[in-house]
Chains A and B, each alone.
Chain A
């Protein structure tokens, strides 16, 4: 029976699940067949009745709020967690960089202070009518002269076969500490060599490689508890050559 076949498909038809290729033919049949049309109408009415009856239960406002919070709380919690995860290292980096900055700055200031002082001592000695208190090119004269004047002793290098010449020495002070200042000459340039007892707090951060400050070249190192500074208006090559001689002698 034709109608029986159609009726089996009415559910799919009213549910909108029939392919459009087939639904056209069914619609044509419904226009002709009153029984099938009545059946289709019944099904649509039943669908509406169930849809209406089925919308029955409404959640309470409290429960709605509870679920909304539980769903919304998760991302917020996770966002806060993420926030901390992102910000904490950033904050740490900031604090560290500030600390490093402060430290570097403090070191820089200390270094500048030391360099400034050494440059002053160097210039003051050269400007003095008596640049040195012990005038001698002989290290074996200069070294004993310091005995009893400064609380340490040191070795001076043999300068034969070098361009350097020892001018002499004097006692100097830096940061209330006594030290030796030796003046060397190379090609009409004077170089001051300062030797102090090494006090870590003051000079630990001083670079060992040649540095330029106040248009003087400087080099510094520690050896056997003594801190050496070489200051002069000569080039780095000369400064390093003298530094090497002093290091080897010490």
Chain B
């Protein structure tokens, strides 16, 4: 994702930004948990990105840059401010060895809703890092750019996010119809 020619900033902004529209909207909706708020976020993101495009440096990561704008817009929004929670290093819940692992249950597409619920229940910092990693398939380096954290922190936060998601899933599978 590079701007090939700085003399054509407007033309390339469209080329770079519009293909990311669906991903940005999905990410925004996941963060805000509301369709109209997601639309506002995406629109704000595009407006900010267009305005700031001249300051976007050629050769740097455009996708990480615009995702970062979206995320910062969310964090300063009313919903975003409410979701600011301190991250705790939660101890992983012990999982009974006989029970089916969440992963085994989740292989079935029908159980996608469970993952969605589990993901929704995660605090925003965990939710967003999982989305960037798994849905957007960003590298740790890109994620670090979007979140504005060191690459080492990406690894540890991702680890905790996965643990948290797994704990949520275990709770749902045991308590729900999928439990054994």
The residues of A with any CB-CB pair to B shorter than 8 Å are 11-12, 15-17, 41-43, 45-47, 49-59, 63-64, 66-68, 70-72, 74-75, 78-79
Nearest Cβ in chain B — how far from A120, in angstroms? 63
Q: Is the interface of A mostly helix, strand, loop or mixed?
A: helix
Query: Roughly how many angstroms separate A93 CA and B60 CA in the complex, as a whole number?
Result: 43
Cross-chain contact of A53 among B47, B115, B133 (Cβ < 8 A): B115
14 A-B Cβ contacts within 8 A?
Answer: A12-B140, A12-B155, A45-B104, A45-B107, A49-B103, A49-B112, A49-B115, A50-B119, A53-B112, A54-B130, A55-B26, A63-B42, A67-B18, A71-B13
Residues of A within 8 A of B30 (CB): 54, 56-57
Residue B166 at the A interface, CB < 8 A?
A: yes
Given contacts A17-B139, A45-B107, A54-B130, 16 further A-B contacts (CB under 8 A): A12-B140, A17-B140, A43-B162, A46-B103, A50-B119, A50-B130, A50-B131, A54-B30, A54-B119, A56-B30, A58-B25, A58-B26, A59-B25, A72-B14, A74-B10, A78-B10
The residues of B with any CB-CB pair to A shorter than 8 Å are 10-11, 13-14, 17-18, 21-22, 25-26, 29-30, 35, 38-39, 42-43, 46-47, 50, 101-104, 106-107, 109, 111-113, 115-116, 119, 130-131, 133-135, 137, 139-140, 155, 158-159, 162, 165-166
Query: Roughly how many angstroms separate A55 CA and B134 CA in the complex, as a whole number?
Result: 10
Residues of B within 8 A of A15 (CB): 133, 140, 158
Residues of A within 8 A of B46 (CB): 67, 70-71
Q: A70-B43, A70-B47, A72-B14 are in contact. Are A47 and B22 (CB under 8 A)?
A: no
User: Contact: B42 with A59, CB < 8 Å?
Assistant: yes
Residues of A within 8 A of B162 (CB): 11, 43, 46
User: Contact: A54 with B13, CB < 8 Å?
Assistant: no
